[in-house]
Structure 1
C-alpha cells in the first residue's frame, strides 16, 4: 500500500514537472586507487537526470557484468535523480570497463574507464 502511494505521488510529481528533461552526468571510477592484482570496486555513478526512467549497464572487456549491483533510485529536492551501478573485481592489466547509459535525453552513450597505472 505504501509503495502504491509512493508511486502515485512520484507519477504526479513527474507530470507536474512536465517536459523538463535533464541529461545525466556520468562518472566511472574505482572506490580505491587502482592497483593491478588487487580487489577494488568499479563504480558507474549517474546523477542529475530527469525523468527517472534510465537504464545503466556495466561492461568489462566488452561483456556485460551480470553480477553488477544497482542501488536504489534517489532524488534531490529539485527532482533530479541519481543512481549507481558497481561491481567488485580484481583489476588486471589491460582490462577496460565501460558504463552504458540509456535515457530519454540520449540513447546508448558509453563512458569508459581504464586504469592509469
Structure 2
C-alpha cells in the first residue's frame, strides 16, 4: 500500500510539472568536432536544446540532401521540462558543399548552416 501511495504521489507531481511546461522553441547550435579543414575527416554536430514539447525532427544535410548514417543521443530533459538532443555524423568538408541542420518543431522548420572555421 505504501508503494502504491508513493507511485500515485510521483505520478501527480509529474502531471503537475507537465501542466506547467509551456511551448518553447528550440535553440540550435551547429558545429564540427574539430576545426573545419577542407578534405579532412571530421564530425558534423547539431545540438538542439530548450524545446517543449519533446516531439522534434533533426536532419543533417549536405547540399540539401540528408546525410546517411547520422546518429542521435537519447532525448533528455532539464528541471524545467525543456528537452535537449544532439545529432551527429562523420563528414569531410569541401569548398563546394554546404552543410546544414534542419529542425522541425511544432510544424515549424528552420535550417541552420554550418560555418567553417577557414
TM class by shorter-chain length? 0.7 to 0.9
Secondary structure of the corresponding residue to residue 25 of structure 2: coil
Q: Which has the higher strand share?
A: 1
* Structure 1 alignment gaps of length 5 or more: 1-8
Q: How many residues end up aligned between the 2 structures? A: 107
In 1, Cα distance between equivalents of 2:43 and 2:20: 35
Taking structure 1 as reference, are residues 41 and 12 closer, same or farther at Cα in structure 2, changes over 3 Å only?
A: same
* Structure 2 alignment gaps of length 5 or more: 1-10
Normalising by the residue count of structure 2, what TM-score does the alignment of the two structures yield?
0.80
Alpha-carbon shift at residue 70 of structure 1 (Å): 1.1
Q: Which has the larger radius of gyration?
A: 2
Does the aligned pair in 2 maintain the 1:95–1:114 contact within 8 Å? no
Quick one: which of 16, 30, 53 aligns to 2:19?
A: 16
RMSD value over aligned CA atoms? 2.0
The equivalent of 1:48 in structure 2 is: 50
Normalising by the residue count of structure 1, what TM-score does the alignment of the two structures yield?
0.81
